[in-house]
Amino acid sequence: MSLLDVNHLDVRFALRNGDIQALRDVSFSLDRGERLGIVGESGAGKSVAAFSLLNLISKPGYIAGGSIRFDGQELIGQSERALRHIRGHRISMIFQDPMMTLNPVLSIGDQMVECLKAHRRISTHEARGIALHKLVQVQIPSPEARLDQYPHELSGGMRQRVIIAIALLLDPDIIIADEPTTALDVTIQAEIMALLLSLCEKHNVGLILITHDLGVVSQVTQRMLVMYAGRVIEEGPTREIINDPQHPYTQGLMNALPQMATPGSRLNQIPGSMPSLDNLPDGCAFHPRCHFAMRSDGQRRQACYEHVPGFVTSGNCRVACHMVSEMLGYERIPAEETTS
Amino acid sequence: MIAFLIKRLFHALLVMFVISVIAFAIQDNLGDPIQQMVGQSVPESERAQLREELGLNDPFLVQYLRFAINAAQLDFGYSYIFNQPTTEVIARHLPATLELVASATFLIILLSVPIGVYSAIKPRAWLSRFFMGVSIVGISIPVFLTAIVLIQIFAIGVSWTPFPADTAWGAWLNDLVTTEGGMPAYGRGDPVHVIGTWYTNFASPRGLLYLVLPAISLASIMLPLFIRLIRAEMLEVLQSDYIKFARAKGLPLSRIYFLHALKNTMLPVITVGGVQIGTLVAYTILTETVFQWPGMGLMFLDAIERSDIPLIVTYLMIVGLIFVITNTVVDLIYGLVNPTVKLTGKPA
């Protein structure tokens, strides 16, 4: 059994005129020390998936169904108190914007010590020792001095190092990193990513990396998950998906990489944009942008318009696409569910 | 720190200079002091002589310079109505006002922080909605009305029977809306002498009782404002990434609310608060009039009524000074709370 097992996770946002479903039937798992990438464009539900693992979705979001099993323990329905002992302790997080993540009025040392003290019976002196040790691990220059400094005295890259140090403070089993390098300078991005990768490998920490950078995913993760409009549409070993994407959307993403375009010509792109979650099309949510949904003779492919595709296995990957299931010679699979 | 203080001192002098010019410039429009000082029977020749003696016929600049030089030596001249140096008159009235303002400030801080924080943490709770509703009402009611209502209910007492008295519940409700009265609402009672002109109400329970109603009505202007300010700031802070990160670190909620969020909430509140507490000193005019509280506000009203120009000018200068001092203190506190502000001027 995996360390983390997410099954059929449904997350909704309760709004005045009804719920919006941000995650539908999301399932994935993570083994100890494994690194998983979650890819998708903005609004696909990557961050919601990450935050819902620790029930940290901002209101009015709530988990409507499914299960999250961590180390044999069901997390959904757990009390805040029980979850608090997992947050920052067994599963920690790294946020997107290091400039906003640290509290501006508390010193770096205070923000590290309080985290240790929240989970361990430990003296301030001991806690500072551990904090210093972690600052050394993230290769911050003059770590002793940093403890008494405030966030505004550090650059963005330094702050992200501090945040990584905080995430590692209690030697967690899993780190969830929500676009940890997006807000950083391009030159710093690679440094921070390399640091995160080496620390995860060294301490055998599992990593859930949320990003829209396919390059980073291919370098850092072993498995990946592609999300579209709140659903997982493709999942499998990173290498296989990168080399041979099955879903038309994933193929489109790969094609959109600048290196895939002929030099001098326009970059490739997927036509259209992701539908908003409160107005999803019937059938496969991707069909309005999908070349497969329209036959060469100009006829619609009815399945794409009417049925949400179920997962089919292709190699080591799972893909949710009518085209793939047709090509693989599956029977016309009755869809798992029909959008009403 | 020293550099900061010197800079602030320079600012303060500049502000005081502007206040003194304005205060002195309005004197010509404040009526004829001679008319107030002497009886109707005094002939015009004597009045002219008095005017000459008091230097009221000199050009504006001369009068101002004379005033400024004396003011620098803390000599603001004689009050016409009290026939005493104005500084002495002010010194006699200042403690009453400062004690009233201090009590009101204490009430405001004591109530606004917990209520504001509570209604930000639980914005949908019925108690929060109740506080928000009451605070809107509180903002809209002028202080003299609050004061008069307080006096009616708690000092005079009300006995009315809107409910049928012959039923048990009616009698109970009637008892509930009937108040005994008896709270002191006139003057300061017998304040205890401390030192110099300072008589205090803080020294005895009886003295504190005299402070209750005036302090509540003075606080009633600012309290709703502060509750709403703290709530709005806190709501915004609670949305921030660092609060989310604090939760992701597994910190107890109490620490997140009362350290991480509150400290950031208080930064803008301290800034606004400093200015508002200075304003409270000015608001005492209304409160002191209703309660006949023998402070500077009441004295100032008297001085205006009787065109006591030296006293008016001194009052304006003192209130200006209080503003300047409170703002400087607030800036100092702000620097202590907010690490991104360096008072030392030393590069960070």
Dump the DSSP string for B259-320. IIIHHHHHHHHHHHHHHHHHHHHHHHHHHHHHHT--SHHHHHHHHHHTT-HHHHHHHHHHHH
Exposed / middle / buried, residue B197 (Cβ in 10 Å: 0-12, 13-18, 19+): middle
Please say whether the beta carbons of A250 and A238 come within 8 A: no
Q: A152 and B348: CB-CB below 8 Å?
A: yes
Domain assignment present for B230: yes
B244 to chain A: which residues are within 8 Å by CB? 56, 58, 95
Query: Nearest CB to A119: which of B242, B250, B253?
Result: B250
For an interface test with A, the pick among B121, B239, B244, B249 (most A C-beta atoms closer than 10 Å) comes out as: B249
Whether B342 contacts chain A with CB within 8 A: no
pLDDT at A197: 94
In this complex, do A106 and B260 lie within 8 Å of one another by their Cβ atoms? yes
| Residue tagged 């995913």 (tokens) | A217
pLDDT at B31: 64
Query: Could you give the CA distance from residue A289 to residue B213 in angstroms, rounded to a whole number?
Result: 71
In this structure, which amino acid lies at residue A274? M
Q: Say if CB B238 and CB B263 are below 8 A apart.
A: no
- A114 with B250: Cβ contact below 8 A: no
Q: Is residue B82 part of a domain?
A: yes
Q: Into how many domains does chain B fold?
A: 1
Cβ distance B241 to A87 less than 8 Å, yes or no, reads no
- Note whether B337 contacts A105, CB cutoff 8 Å: yes
What number of CA atoms fall less than 13 Å from residue A24's CA on the CB side? 22
How do residues B147-161 score in pLDDT, each as one tens digit?
999 898 888 888 777
pLDDT of residue A274: 86
- Contact A155/B at CB under 8 A: no
Residue B165 within a domain:
yes
Q: What is the pLDDT of residue A340?
A: 40
Question: Which residues on chain B are in Cβ contact (under 8 Å) with A159?
Answer: none
Taking the Cβ of residue B240 and every Cβ of chain A, the question of whether any pair is shorter than 8 Å is answered with yes
Judge whether B3 is closer than 8 Å to chain A, CB to CB: no
State whether B244 and A163 contact (CB < 8 Å). no
Which residue range(s) make up the domain with B107? 2-30+74-337
Average pLDDT over residues A230-244: 93
| Nearest to A75, CA basis, from A169, A167, A155, A4 | A4
| Residue A102 near chain B (CB below 8 Å) | yes
Phi and psi, residue A180, nearest 5°: -70, -15
> Is A270 part of the contact surface with chain B (CB cutoff 8 Å)?
no
Residue A32, pLDDT > 80, answer yes
Q: Which of A235, A239, A249, A328 is nearest to A286 (CA)?
A: A249
If pLDDT is split at 50, 70 and 90, which confidence band does B344 have? low
Please report whether residue B146 resides in a domain: yes
pLDDT band at A337 (very low <50, low <70, confident <90, very high): very low
Least confident piece of the model among A276-280, A318-322, B94-98, B178-182: B178-182
- Sign of the dihedral defined by the CA atoms of residues B243, B247, B252, B254, in that order: positive
Give the 3-state secondary structure of residue B188: coil
pLDDT tens, residue by residue, B231-273 = 999 999 999 999 999 999 999 999 999 999 999 999 889 888 8
pLDDT tens-digit series, residues B35-71: 766 777 888 888 888 888 877 778 888 888 887 888 8
- Tokens for A65, please give them: 């169904």
- Domain membership of residue B344 (yes or no) is no
Domain limits, chain A: 96-169, 236-327
Other C-beta atoms closer than 10 Å to the C-beta of B130 total: 11
Q: Do A93 and B248 touch (CB under 8 A)?
A: yes
pLDDT tens-digit readout, B84-128: 898 899 999 999 999 999 999 999 999 999 999 999 999 889 999
Residue-wise pLDDT tens digits, A268-293: 888 888 888 888 888 888 988 888 78
Question: What's residue B248's pLDDT?
Answer: 94
Q: Out of A84, A85, A97, whose CB is closest to B241?
A: A97
Long-range contacts of B339-342 (CB under 8 A, 24+ apart): B339/A104, B339/A105, B339/A107, B339/A150, B339/A152, B340/A104, B340/A150, B340/A152
CA-CA-CA-CA dihedral for A192, A197, A203, A205, to nearest 10: 110
**Chain A within 8 Å of B41 (Cβ-Cβ)?**
no
CATH number at residue B10: 1.10.3720.10
A134: pLDDT strictly greater than 60 = yes
Pairwise CA distance, residues B9 & A162, whole Å = 40
* Touching A: B residues 311-330, CB under 8 Å: none
- Mean pLDDT score, A13-33: 90
Q: Is residue B66 part of a domain?
A: no
Collapsed DSSP state (helix, strand, coil) of residue B251: coil
Q: Which of B242, B252, B263 sits opposite A101 (nearest CB)?
A: B242
